[in-house]
Structure 1
């Protein structure tokens, strides 16, 4: 006889970000991702550029953060800031960062991906609000 039980676990980190503009909201989402992964001790000096297009804002944000995650992992870079420019359904972002330093950057949580599930970008009188899940 086989049996099983469901064990509760958290497989993601949920982030809520607010910003006055959509450019700033994408920047806040970027900062949240880097903070979760590497903590606050992040400096600049090495730049990367990301240019992407997508059919809608949510897809554009997902693609942008996924590309940041990819570049960070493949190039071994930890980014401190991003200059984000949105134009329609296109993003141009200039990222500033530094090489990964285990002594300073290994205290964070590994993010495996960005989840489309539950993602929402809403606009109200105060600006924009985002809910997003990072798969950890």
Structure 2
């Protein structure tokens, strides 16, 4: 699988992961939205920031079923470019047909020395009748992007262009 290549497959109900605890918040930002996530480790904070982005994009995230698996890969030249490319891969997953909205995201490989991520999104195709749209995310930005590793809560801050 090449960087950015997506692999899709079906999920049986007994294979669906549990819904993680919410560890994110939305912070007001002029004409944009800032995501603030935290976790027990940086990997969890990265998972949370992708979930926060998708939750912001739909008004009823609880209706998203985990019937499909979507795998992504991302690389970067440093931690910020890795975070940017990781979120951009998931945003592309939502923007390309069929529009996919993951409910749970699990990072399966997190290499912070070589700046590589492999992740799985559990979700389903986006359906406007079932998943009322929230705010469209146009792009991920580097503006005020922050990654705090080895702090008690491993915070990540990302501003989305909406």
Q: 4+ residue runs of structure 1 moved beyond 3 angstroms?
A: none
Are residue 81 (structure 1) and residue 91 (structure 2) matched? no
- Report how many residues are paired: 128
Q: Comparing both structures, which one devotes a greater share of its residues to helix? A: 1
Summarize deviations over 1:86-123 as a string: whole Å, max 9, x none.
01311000111101111232331000011111000013
User: Residue in 2 aligned with 1:3?
Assistant: none
Q: Comparing both structures, which one devotes a greater share of its residues to strand? A: 1
Summarize deviations over 1:36-91 as a string: whole Å, max 9, x none.
00132222111111112111111111101111011111031111111113013110
Are residue 110 (structure 1) and residue 106 (structure 2) matched? no
Larger Rg: 1
Q: Is the 8 A contact 2:43 2:110 kept in 1?
A: yes
Query: Given the superposition, is the C-alpha separation of residues 34 and 96 from structure 1 closer, same or farther in structure 2, using an over 3 Å criterion?
Result: same
Which runs of 5 or more structure 1 residues have no equivalent in the other structure? Answer: 1-8
Are residue 68 (structure 1) and residue 93 (structure 2) matched? no
Q: Is the 8 A contact 2:139 2:161 kept in 1?
A: yes
User: Residue in 1 aligned with 2:161?
Assistant: 135
Which protein, 1 or 2, shows the higher relative CO under an 8 Å CA cutoff with sep ≥ 6? 1
Which runs of 5 or more structure 2 residues have no equivalent in the other structure? Answer: 1-28
Question: How high is the TM-score relative to the length of structure 2?
Answer: 0.74
